[in-house]
Structure 1
Amino acid sequence: MHDALLGQALVEEATKKSGLIWVRGTTGPARALWHAWHDGAAYVVGDGPGEQPLPGLADASTAEVTVRSKDKGGRLVAWTAAVTELAPGSEAWEAAVAELKGKRLNAPDGEHMTERWARECRVLRLEPRESTTEHPDGSLAAVPLPTPATTRHPIPAALPRLLFRRHRRAS
């Protein structure tokens, strides 16, 4: 019983302090998601235009959550979550959105954000079920997800000389 209470406390404190959690639903790789901790669970919003994708999570009943250390970036705790979707406009949805709204950075429609979330996004509650602080064998490193982001052109050949020349003049 004592270990279970310590595990719950570690999950709550680590998740509250971490800006991102790594979540893996029933399909696909784990993804870094921003979240808000409220009422004993982590809440995420996504699957809408301009919001974080939630592939394999929105239709899942459980998910694996990994919480990293805010200062060192290493894995602190992993926990299994029960996933439930909140109905827009419900009391639980309003409370969760109030917390999420304060964490959302650079929203394109700041004052109308919650209305857009109600229309176009999903708000999910990730409630901890079991946790572990044991470190697994291996690195858990994954292949980076495909992205359309690329470097368009190589740097100009003269750029290193220009930068070096500036550095010599400043000396």
Structure 2
Amino acid sequence: MTETLLSQALVEEATKKSGLIWVRGTGPERTLWHVWHEGAALVVGDGPGEQPLPGLIDGGTAEVVVRSKDKGGRLVSWTASVSELEPGSEPWESAVAELKGKRLNAVDAEHVPERWRRECRVLRLTPGRSTTDHPETALSAPPLPTSATTRQPAPAALPRLLLSRKKKRR
């Protein structure tokens, strides 16, 4: 009993403090931003400009891995039951109020709830009673294909230019 309470407390505290969680449903594992609210992780996505939620289906389960905020490594893993919140319902309104406050860089910040109602899914990932064991091997995998690109390396002369500006200011 005590071990179950400790693992639930670990899941809650670690997930609250972590800005990202790794989630795997029936599709590929994804890193998702989330909000911890009323005993569950809330995520929004599958709409234009929002994070994809592949393999997360209403009534299904998902494996959630929470990273350590200071080291970035795997801290705790837990199995979640996935439930999609009905747009406009009281739980949906409560979830969206929490998510909206944490949504960074929204183009239409004032109209986010209306857009989410029309175009997105809001999911509740509720943890089970215990955590899952860490695997013995690394779970590293190559990144998923994306159209995003990395900017070019900084020119070799850039550090000298920046240092010369500092010297001129003095």
| TM-score when normalising by structure 1 | 0.87
The C-alpha deviation readout for 1:2-57, integer Å capped at 9, x for no partner, is 100001000000000000010001122x1110001111100000000000000111
Q: Structure 2: where are the runs of 5+ without partners?
A: none
Q: How does 1:1-171 map to 2 (within 5 A)?
A: 1-28=1-28, 30-59=29-58, 61-132=60-131, 134-150=133-149, 159-160=155-156
Change (3 A) 1:6 1:55: same
AA in 2 matched with 1:25: G
Deviation of residue 58 (structure 1)? 3.4
Q: Which runs of 4+ in 1 moved over 3 A?
A: 150-155, 161-170
In structure 1, how many angstroms separate the alpha carbons of the residues matched to 2:45 and 2:164?
49
Change (3 A) 1:161 1:109: closer
The C-alpha deviation readout for 1:129-169, integer Å capped at 9, x for no partner, is 143364321111111111123358787xxx42575577589
Counting aligned pairs with the same residue, the percent is: 71
In structure 2, how many angstroms separate the alpha carbons of the residues matched to 1:53 and 1:121?
10
How many residues matched? 167
Deviation of residue 114 (structure 1)? 0.4
Change (3 A) 1:137 1:161: same
- Cα RMSD of the aligned pairs, angstroms, is 2.3
In structure 2, how many angstroms separate the alpha carbons of the residues matched to 1:16 and 1:166?
39
